[in-house]
């Protein structure tokens, strides 16, 4: 009889994919399939040391209290956040040997989280893949995984600079504020600068001296028509203003005694361009005015819509739209309302100066999908987008 041979089949470990929010894991895992295991970091996993709330950090060296060695070149003392220790242990176990896909958000914070995870999990740089997508759809996710990249260390350093400023400004100014005003107040990188702008504006208002001037408006009686109100302007079209009321009264008296001749009537066609797609700030403004939503409620709902694959990433300062998304919108409009409503060329918008333009504007991922499957309380914001 032939001898029996035994075989050992090594288990093929799935690749680890790390996202930030647990709300994304199921949908992304469905898109990627069984060759991947998707886990969430639940946001940041590492940070500068937290100050002692019992006041025991008083008297410490400034470097120790800040968690930063400023004279030594702004070297940080990173530590794992207490509440994330279990998360880090699980991710280390799952990503011990295989390929790790860092699919954290595509903004500055997400890039920093990706770097912290890569540093904590360790191993060769070659086993880490950085992937980003602005919408959780099969097309976008699969395209991202087909074109991975390295971590963008410029973005990481930008986030670290923001975090260092938060710590330095907060630790330095907040105690001073509390001592001077005898209240438990805090100061930060953004609010301190905003307060300086408000204070400068208030000073301008305080020293402003109003100047009085007079203009002349006339009500013209037109036979067979409603009266027409008009303002007196100069030859260049500018409104005439008088520093002396007597001069204005004299002109008004003169105009009351003369007939006015209609010299010309001009008709002009006017067109109004569609408003640009939402950025984060314009979404917050319109949601507040139309839906009476707070900023925090708007962003929480937008996060849910993004995780459900209904809209693109909700943190954006750009108004640009991907060409394929623009074409999909044009096709939808033509099918739903007729080709006549679709302009020959799509409107073009320019983002504000200084915009990062790291990703698209906030838009529906599928204009023809409608609100099906969306929670009732989320539908108004989706309709707005």
Question: Could you tell me the pLDDT band of residue 12, with boundaries at 50, 70 and 90?
Answer: low
Strands (E), the chain: 15-19, 36-40, 46-47, 68-69, 75-76, 79-80, 100-102, 128-130, 217-220, 228-231
Do 231 and 182 have their domain in common? no
Angle, helices 138-146 vs 25-32, to 10°: value is: 70
CATH number of the domain bearing residue 92: 3.40.50.140
- Side-chain half-sphere CA neighbours of 168 within 13 A: 12
15-19, 50-54, 296-300, 332-336: range with lowest mean pLDDT: 50-54
Structural contact between residues 318 and 355, judged by C-beta atoms closer than 8 angstroms: yes
Residue among 36, 306, 313, 382 flagged as catalytic: 313
Residue 274 lies in a domain: no
Do 68 and 57 have their domain in common? yes
Residue 291 lies in a domain: yes
Question: Could you tell me the pLDDT band of residue 64, with boundaries at 50, 70 and 90?
Answer: low
3-state class percentages of the chain: helix first, strand second, coil last, to nearest 5:
45, 10, 45
3-state SS assignment for residue 278 = strand
pLDDT of res. 8: 45
Q: Specify the pTM.
A: 0.73
Residue 89 lies in a domain: yes
pLDDT of res. 7: 45
Do 19 and 153 have their domain in common? yes
Do 148 and 187 have their domain in common? no
Q: Read off the pLDDT of each residue in 66-76 and give the average, rounded to a whole number.
A: 89
Q: DSSP code of 305?
A: H
Whether 313 sits among the annotated catalytic residues: the reply is yes
Residue 370 lies in a domain: yes
Do 298 and 366 have their domain in common? yes
Q: Which residues contact 305 (CB under 8 A, 6 or more apart)?
A: 311, 314, 374, 378, 381, 382, 385
- Domain housing 244: 217-256
Residue 164 lies in a domain: yes
Work out how many domains the chain is built from and give that number: 4
CATH number of the domain bearing residue 306: 1.10.290.10
Residue 177 lies in a domain: yes
Do 23 and 142 have their domain in common? yes
Residue 339 lies in a domain: yes
Do 67 and 163 have their domain in common? no
pLDDT of res. 10: 47
pLDDT of res. 59: 44
Do 21 and 72 have their domain in common? yes
38-52, 162-176, 256-270, 291-305: which has the highest mean pLDDT? 291-305
Residues β-bridged to residue 101: 17, 129
293-347 per-position pLDDT tens digit: 999 999 999 999 999 999 999 999 889 898 899 999 999 999 999 998 898 888 8
Nearest to 36 by CA among 16, 10, 8: 16
């Amino acid at each position: 009889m032939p001898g029996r041979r035994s075989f050992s089949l090594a288990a093929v470990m799935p690749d680890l994919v790390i996202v930030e929010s647990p709300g994304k894991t199921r949908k992304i895992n469905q898109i990627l399939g069984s060759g991947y295991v998707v886990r969430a970091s639940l946001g940041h996993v590492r940070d500068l040391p937290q100050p002692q709330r019992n006041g025991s950090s008083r008297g410490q060296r400034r470097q120790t209290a800040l968690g930063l060695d400023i004279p030594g070149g702004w070297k940080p003392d990173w530590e794992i956040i207490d509440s994330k220790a279990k998360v880090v242990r699980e991710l280390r176990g799952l990503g011990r040997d295989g390929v790790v896909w860092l699919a954290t958000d595509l903004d500055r914070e997400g890039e920093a989280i990706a770097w912290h995870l890569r540093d904590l999990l360790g191993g060769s740089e070659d086993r880490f893949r950085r992937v980003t997508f602005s919408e959780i759809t099969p097309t976008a996710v699969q395209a991202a995984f087909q074109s991975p990249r390295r971590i963008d260390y410029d973005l990481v350093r930008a986030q670290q600079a923001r975090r260092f400023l938060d710590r330095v400004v907060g630790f330095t100014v907040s105690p001073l504020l509390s001592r001077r005003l005898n209240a438990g107040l805090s100061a930060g990188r953004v609010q301190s600068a905003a307060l300086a702008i408000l204070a400068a504006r208030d000073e301008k208002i305080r020293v402003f001296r109003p100047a009085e001037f007079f203009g002349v408006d006339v009500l013209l009686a037109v036979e067979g028509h409603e009266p027409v109100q008009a303002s007196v302007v100069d030859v260049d079209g500018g409104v005439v203003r008088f520093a002396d009321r007597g001069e204005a009264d004299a002109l008004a008296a003169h105009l009351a005694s003369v007939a006015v001749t209609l010299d010309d009537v001009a008709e002009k066609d006017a067109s109004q361009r569609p408003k640009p797609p939402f950025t984060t700030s314009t979404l917050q403004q319109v949601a507040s005015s139309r839906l009476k939503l707070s900023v925090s409620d708007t962003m929480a709902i937008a996060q849910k819509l993004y995780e459900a694959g209904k809209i693109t990433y909700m943190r954006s300062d750009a108004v640009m739209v991907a060409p394929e998304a623009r074409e999909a919108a044009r096709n939808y409009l033509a099918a739903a309302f007729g080709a006549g409503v679709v302009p020959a060329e799509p409107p073009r918008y320019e983002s504000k100066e200084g915009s990062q333009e790291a990703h698209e504007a906030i838009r529906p991922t599928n204009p023809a999908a409608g609100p099906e499957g969306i929670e009732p309380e989320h539908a108004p914001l989706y309709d707005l987008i």
